[in-house]
Amino acid sequence: MADTCIECDVAIIGSGFAGSLIAKELSRRRIRVVILEAGPGVQPNINGYTRSFYKASIKVPESPYPPALSDAPSAVAAGRPSFSGSTWRDPEKAYFDQKDSTLPFKSTYERLAGGTSHWMGLTPRLVPNDFNMKRYDPSFPDWPIDYGTLSEWYEKAEAELGVSGDVADHSFANVTFSPGYAYPMPRIPPSLFDRYVGEKLAHFTDDETKSLDFLGTAAPVTELMVRSLPAARNSQPYRNRRACAGNTSCIPICPIQAKYDATITLNDATNNGARLIDHAVASEILLENGHVSGIKFITHKDEAKTGEGCVQAAIYVIAANAIETPRLLRMSTKSGQPANGVANSSGLVGCNLMDHPQFLTWGLLPVPVFPYRGPLVTSAIGDLCDGPFRKQRAAFRISLGNEAWSATVGGVAGDPHVTTVDFVNGTNFSDLNKDKGALSGPELARTLGDLISRQFRIAFAVEQSPDPNNRVTLSTTATDALGLPRPKIAYNISDYTKRGIATAFRLKKVIFNKLGAQDFTKTAVSDPGGFDATIEGETGTTRLTYGGAGHLMGTYRMGNDPKQSVVDSYQRSHDHPNLFLVGSGTFPTVGTANPTITLSALALRTADHIFETFPSHG
């Protein structure tokens, strides 16, 4: 290594949830930390991003943040994916190389403080059986830890992120809490839509209960309980941040930072002495005698390379998400490095890429519930996330959306724009203006006020089974502006997961009937993720599809056996004792819970382990 390398105790690649938490915990204990961040790092404020979002004509999740959506991925230094059904196979227009993928991987992420502004803020814990899925199917791997191991770390993560929640609401499927435990803040109040659904699903008749036998639960379903969802969002002032003001733009941006993001923890880390180097893309991990000896990086500005550097440390932490971490490990093959990349003696680096494929449904209620007031999601139906049915099909968690049809109608244009334009121009992209009448004045206002106030969205986040053929490798043809290979993705969803989506379709019909709702859910013929399912009670086959949840998981799983896993329970590489790979890429299985609070709990546990075992400790 060159004499000019930056030297520190711990080098961290990536400043998202896991990277920032570890940086803060170690720096406050006087360990010298350097963080490399591929994106722009911590901005003085988010006003510029907010203005970009407000001005954007197409308000997709990427719209507030650089780079511009119009930039070709080959011209971007720190690339990030976006999804379009018409261009997903074209590496000239899409960051991922998915030319040969069976189905599209639809989730996206940012390269900006780990993309942590680009999340909904939901923090449900995994349930105990999520950690030992072998009880249901021997082909599933078990985690090397159980729920009890993580319980104290969940509580610490909830304090750090600032979680609003209710213990009673989250005590189901054998989830337990320490005696007397309370979330840092009370739950976010339920929306009018939450309350309406809760009232309608609070009781099923005997015939309705019998009709739900297809769910395969351990006990008959006599109700579907609507519970508040824990969220890293302030229900009251917390740690010098104000309470949620009800903006329904949690994805992609909270304009008042009532929702937690990693820049908050990053600021704490740098105040403790950690050094953050932004616009720095890690390009190669170097090994010497089985240990990591350094990491090379490339700096950039305005999408052009500006220089090169390296960092040397006693401990290295890769926290670059479940796609960028295996990409870096697989790029590190030069100068006598292993041919299949660093930390990859098992051959599993990049394998078992998972998400929570989302089955989106939408409809029109008989009464107004006034969406767009409050965060995107405040409540969910979670009790169906576990049960004996997992021997045959995937579980799911049901979230109730407060954003009407904005995530479901009109593609990237989104509602209420689509519905409004339909009635102004006499079109019918929303399916609400079947007569294609063009309205104006008070009649237009009354029509939109009636229809938009009754719109709702329900999403089923479906468990995905691990599959080694779902993988992240390196493209041999597509590079970024720094000349580095872009990720090549192979993706499919299993019959197990498809059966979960099909069951969600059946339950959707029951729920809509109970709500008295008109169903507008449909799968576009052109949807590249569409598949045909045979569903009891339906004529012929039914076309179903899925959306991306933004939950990247599984590509460097943890386990006790180095031949069957990449890291141990502390997220330490089996191959290199001074290398840690952190984040939701270590999840062996995914359950149905949003991964953030679990990966944060794991990160805090890893930070404590690094400190306790650090060479100079004591």
Reported as a single tens digit per residue, the pLDDT across 282-317 is 999 999 999 999 999 999 999 999 999 999 999 999
Query: Among residues 75, 71, 83, 77, which one has the least CA distance to residue 109?
Result: 83
Task: Report which listed range, 49-53, 408-412, 575-579, is most confident.
Answer: 575-579
Cα–Cα distance, 571 to 581 (Å, whole number): 6
The confidence band for 412, taking pLDDT boundaries of 50, 70 and 90, is: low
Helix (H) or strand (E) holding 445, with range, is helix 441-452
Strand pairing report for 358-364 and 377-381: unpaired
Please tell me the distance from the alpha carbon of residue 18 to that of residue 113, in angstroms, as a whole number: 11
Cβ-proximal residues to 513 (8 Å cutoff; 6+ apart), any chain? none
User: Residue 60: its pLDDT value, please?
Assistant: 79
**pLDDT value at residue 3:** 56
Following CA atoms 519, 525, 531, 536 in sequence, which dihedral angle do they give, to the nearest 10 degrees?
Answer: 40
> Is residue 511 predicted with pLDDT exceeding 90?
yes
Assess contact for 488 and 474: CB atoms under 8 A: yes
- 411 pLDDT tier (thresholds 50, 70, 90): low
- Per-residue pLDDT for 602 more than 50? yes
Collapsing DSSP to helix, strand or coil, 456 comes out as strand
Q: Within 13 Å of residue 382, how many CA atoms lie on the same side as its CB?
A: 25
Cα radius of gyration (the chain)? 24
Residue at token pair 């901005």: 43
What backbone torsions phi and psi does residue 48 show, to the nearest 5 degrees? -65, -40
Cβ-Cβ contacts under 8 Å for 402 (sequence gap 6 or more): 191, 193, 194, 248, 371, 372, 373, 374, 375, 376, 377, 378
The C-alpha atoms of residue 292 and residue 580 are separated, in whole angstroms, by: 10
Q: State the amino acid at position 239 in one-letter form.
A: R
Question: Which residue type occupies 48?
Answer: G
DSSP state of 494: -
Q: What is the pLDDT of residues 340-397, one digit of tens each?
A: 999 999 999 999 999 999 999 999 999 999 999 999 999 999 999 999 999 999 999 9
Cβ-contact 35, 21 below 8 angstroms: no
Evaluated on CA atoms 54, 60, 65, 71, the torsion sign reads negative
Under 8 Å between Cβ of 407 and 250: no
CB 401 within 8 A of CB 376: yes
213 has a pLDDT exceeding 50: yes
Contact status, residue 165 vs residue 181, Cβ threshold 8 Å: no
Contacts of 375 (CB under 8 A, 6+ apart): 120, 121, 188, 231, 233, 244, 246, 247, 248, 250, 259, 402
Dihedral sign, Cα of residue 400, residue 401, residue 404, residue 410: negative
The end-to-end CA distance of the chain, in Å, is 29
Is the pLDDT confidence value at 617 over 90? no
Torsion of CA 117, 123, 128, 131, to 10 degrees: 0
The structure's pTM equals 0.97
Cα separations in angstroms, 273 against 18, 67, 268? 18, 29, 9
Strands (E), 137-234: 227-228
**Taking the CB of residue 513, how many other CB atoms lie within 10 A of it?**
13
Q: What distance in Å separates the CA atoms of residue 365 and residue 405, rounded to the nearest whole number?
A: 12
Count CB atoms within 10 A of the CB of residue 290: 10
38-52, 389-403, 524-538: segment of lowest average pLDDT: 38-52
- Percent of the chain residues topping a pLDDT of 90: 85
Number of H helices, E strands in the chain: 11, 19
- DSSP summary character for residue 215: G
- pLDDT of residue 120 exceeding 90: yes
Spatial neighbors of 377 by CB under 8 A, at least 6 apart, are 120, 122, 229, 231, 250, 399, 400, 401, 402
| Cβ 322 vs Cβ 311: under 8 Å | no
Q: What is the pLDDT of residue 520?
A: 96
Token pair listed for 338: 């292993």
Residue 407: per-residue pLDDT: 85
- The pLDDT value recorded for residue 146 is 98
